[in-house]
Amino acid sequence: MSEHPVEGMTVGKVREILDLVMPETEADPAGVLAALLSQVSCMVGDKVMLNIGGREMPVSVWTLLIGATGKGRKGTAYAMAARVCNVACPDFLTDHESSGASSGSGIIRAFVKRRESALAAMRDAEENGREYAGLSVTDTRMLLVEAEYETVIKRGKRDATLQGVMRKAWDGADLQNMVADGGVLRSPRFVVHGHSTPRGFRDNISATDVAGGTYNRMVIQHVTRSKRLSMRHVINEDSIKEAGAILARAVAFAGGIDEITLSEEAIDLFDEGLRDEIDEYRCEDEYIEDFLPRAVENVWRVGAIYALINLRDEISVADIEAAWSFVRHGLDSVAHIMGESADMVSGETEEDKILKVLRRNPGGISGTDIFKLTGVPARYTKSWAEKREDIDMWRGLGSLNGGRKPTMFRLMTAEEMGEAGEEPTTSVPEQASGPRLKAIGCETPVASVTMSVEDDNEFADLLN
């Protein structure tokens, strides 16, 4: 997978923030962005809800950075995002950051204990005639930061309540502790940000863990050091303050609205195929398959944060496209960390991948099937094909139940192009045939498409 592909993941003011801070850090921009999304989503989580089709959900964005120790710059990424947040809201992280999740009941107790401390401080202030300036007793925001997230995975195997409470917290549901010193926590705004190494993640997570639904709620980002700064480099604090000022305006804006929704154009984008594209993204990949059920909602949540930072209460098409790019890179990160097929790590360009599939399907293939085999979005394939004279496009037959007619693509032969026409070349050797590929977990198997895949994978046994 390509390194530091952050350009398409940001939009408007979000991009401005990254442009301001990235010259000051060796962290991966995707890591800084992920940490910022978690921190900001916790900041605004008690002020605004996401409303999609009448269904309300928190804007909480859970992220996990995975990178080699010393080279991933995971802590550096979080620290840079924290610098920006500390300018925007100086006391927020001090008051709301926590760590050391050991059990489900422990998480609830941490919330209840903080509420009780705030209540006691408020009463003390009233009794002594002082103005109370501490945390609100109704503030249910908490940012759980785990520098070694594999320990949380291990604890989740020992304590069945931990993952259950975390899943409910992501959903924004009420939490209730059945132990004597517990209590009921109403609609918490609980956000998780973690760090792990590739080996630590691979060695501790199982297919059962992922299928359980806790870890697919997180957007995982594989991170590496973006550059090496001189030992003499001094952080430009003016840049940090400018980025913080942008964020401060966004937090103030979020405090004045109750909900954020999809714009009509964004709804059309989903209805015209984006939702299917997300649901089916590389769904034949066993490592990605279990992460797809939460991908659409994560796109909504990330898009909501993008809209708020850009001072809008509607999620635009640009927000959604940037959010999908961020979540898609997260899915690619999972496959990269857990082990991918040779086809997907060979360094092929998107054009190479499309041409390979077209050569193997001379009768034509739909954009959706190209997407399932290569991960190249159908919209990209169409835009690319429209610029070429050697690609034949037409509308295929719709499904029996009246579904959309697919756009079909076919590579024209030299004879069809005329004597002057030439077939395009590609860096990938042509392969006449290969085993049929079934799209595992998709609604419709790709029975008419052939493509070679590697069956042996050194990481395959890790999820058994």
Domains and CATH numbers, the chain: 7-338 (3.40.50), 352-455 (1.10.10)
Instruction: Determine phi and psi for 51, rounding to 5 degrees.
Output: -120, 110
Three-state DSSP at 199 gives: helix
Please report how many Cα atoms fall inside a 13 Å half-sphere around the Cα of residue 331, on the Cβ side: 27
What is the rounded distance in angstroms from the CA atom of residue 192 to the CA atom of residue 176? 19
The residues pairing with 51 across neighbouring beta strands, listed in sequence order, are 56
Helix axes 104-127, 160-171, angle to 10 degrees: 60
| pLDDT digit string (tens) for the chain, length 464 residues | 445 567 789 999 999 999 999 999 999 999 999 999 999 999 998 889 999 988 999 999 999 999 998 889 999 999 999 999 999 999 899 888 988 888 888 888 777 777 777 788 788 777 888 876 666 767 888 899 999 999 988 888 888 788 888 888 888 888 876 443 455 677 788 899 999 999 888 888 876 677 677 888 999 999 999 999 999 999 999 999 999 999 999 999 999 999 999 999 999 999 999 999 999 898 877 778 888 889 999 999 999 999 999 999 999 999 999 999 999 999 999 988 887 433 433 456 788 888 888 988 888 888 888 887 777 888 888 889 998 988 999 988 765 555 678 889 999 887 787 744 444 444 444 443 333 333 333 443 333 333 333 344 443 343 33
Q: State the Cα–Cα distance between residues 144 and 194, nearest whole angstrom.
A: 8
Angle in degrees, CA 271, 272, 276, rounded to 5: 75
Q: Which of 245, 301, 227 is nearest to 17 (CA)?
A: 245
* Location of structure tokens 């992460």: 291
Closest CA to 69 of 193, 194, 198, 202: 198
Residue whose C-alpha is closest to residue 61's, from 14, 104, 25: 14
- Within 8 A by CB and 6+ apart from 393, the residues are 382, 385, 386, 407, 408, 409, 410
Give me the pLDDT at residue 403, please: 61
- Going by C-alpha positions, the residue among 301, 306, 310 that lies closest to residue 192 is 301
DSSP 22: G
Residue 423, pLDDT score = 46
Handedness of CA 293, 296, 299, 301 (dihedral sign): negative
- Whole-model pTM above 0.75? no
Rounded Cα distance, 103 and 126, in Å: 35
* Cα–Cα distance for residue pair 181/235, rounded to 1 Å: 46
In this structure, are residues 442 and 428 in contact, taking their beta carbons and an 8 Å threshold? no
Specify the pLDDT at position 153. 87
What pLDDT, on a 0 to 100 scale, did the predictor assign at position 66? 95
Rounded Cα gap, residues 446 and 438, in angstroms: 5
Q: What is the pLDDT of residue 421?
A: 46
